[in-house]
Amino acid sequence: MASVRIGVLGCADIARRRMLPAMAAADGVEITAIAARDLERAEETARPYGCRAVRGYDALLALPDVDAVYVPLPAALHARWAGAALRAGKHVLAEKPLSCDRGESAGLVELARGKGLALMENVMFVHHPQHAVVRELVADGVIGELRSFRAEFTVPRMPDGDIRHRPELGGGALWDTGVYPVRAAVHFLGDGLRVVGARLAAAEGITVDTAGSALLDTPAGVTAQLTFGLDHGYRSAYELVGSRGRISVDRAFTPPADHRPVLRIESPTGQREITLEAHDQVGATVLAFASAVRAREVPAVRDSLCTAGLLDRIRN
């Protein structure tokens, strides 16, 4: 495949602000078409990229010159349109969460594998190399034996009409910001996590959860304390605590491409910082998806399904 030709279902902010520019800049990737229910909206979004505008998602899925589809729709629509794209023979990159139910996510994985198609959940932070450096430091015993993990992702309140406040579209803090700390816990602690306790809460006048926290643990007794919210001061960070020290990372989940990460390490020998090179995790995610398309793989399936199961248990 000389170039992965991608069609986009919808004109969501995440698509316009981050993913479309990254796709346009990526080697071996071509934006072929953008679909919306409103053709004028599709034309406006497609114009900077010189690609086709299409009215309706089904019409885009019928295009023979689209190899893969990016689904940036509201969370409650991910499973429906990811499934429709797979059945139409298209590879799929779906925004997180892959669905709002672990069973649906597992069904999408089975469908993709049965058709020999790539299916990838768009969790971008795992493609930033700073987290691999943190893993290496922990594996090297820099902070001793791992005891606990803490992660937080919170953002300020959105306008009342925002889709994140609409339950029928899969709104709420758990599906929007909670995915990040839960996936981070899986990333560092593995797939043996269980939910010890959890709480979701809603701000006055809002019908979805706007705040949440969860306590997880591993069979070895390592705990994970997670916080997420849609009505808070901005915070994007995690910390790993060991028997001899700790590693802290700020701006952990959505760093801009020019941000140079700083890892803060405390140990018996004192405090130090490691400053890493800047990295564009959005561009890296697009390239990872293109690689999965060429290999016809479902990457990181274990982590995606483990995260989906934990989200189910936190919600219930």
Alpha-carbon distance 291 to 120, whole Å? 11
Write phi, then psi, for 315 (nearest 5 degrees): -65, -35
Looking at residue 42, its amino acid is A
Region of residue 283 (left: phi > 0; alpha: psi -120 to 50; beta: else): alpha
Alpha-carbon distance 113 to 49, whole Å? 31
- From the list 90, 96, 164, 235, the catalytic residue is 96
Q: Where are the alpha helices (DSSP H) in the chain?
A: 13-14, 20-25, 39-46, 57-61, 78-87, 102-115, 130-139, 173, 179-189, 281-295, 301-315
Q: Which residues does 13 contact at the CB level (< 8 Å), separation at least 6?
A: none
**Residue whose token pair is 């071996």:** 28
Q: Does 96 participate in catalysis according to the annotation?
A: yes
Alpha-carbon distance 278 to 16, whole Å? 22
Nearest to 179 by CA among 6, 306, 3: 306
Write phi, then psi, for 285 (nearest 5 degrees): -65, -45
Write phi, then psi, for 127 (nearest 5 degrees): -95, 5
Question: Strand 68-71 and strand 4-9: pairing?
Answer: parallel
Nearest to 261 by CA among 283, 284, 277: 277
In the chain, count H helices and then E strands.
11, 14
Q: Which residues are catalytically annotated?
A: 96
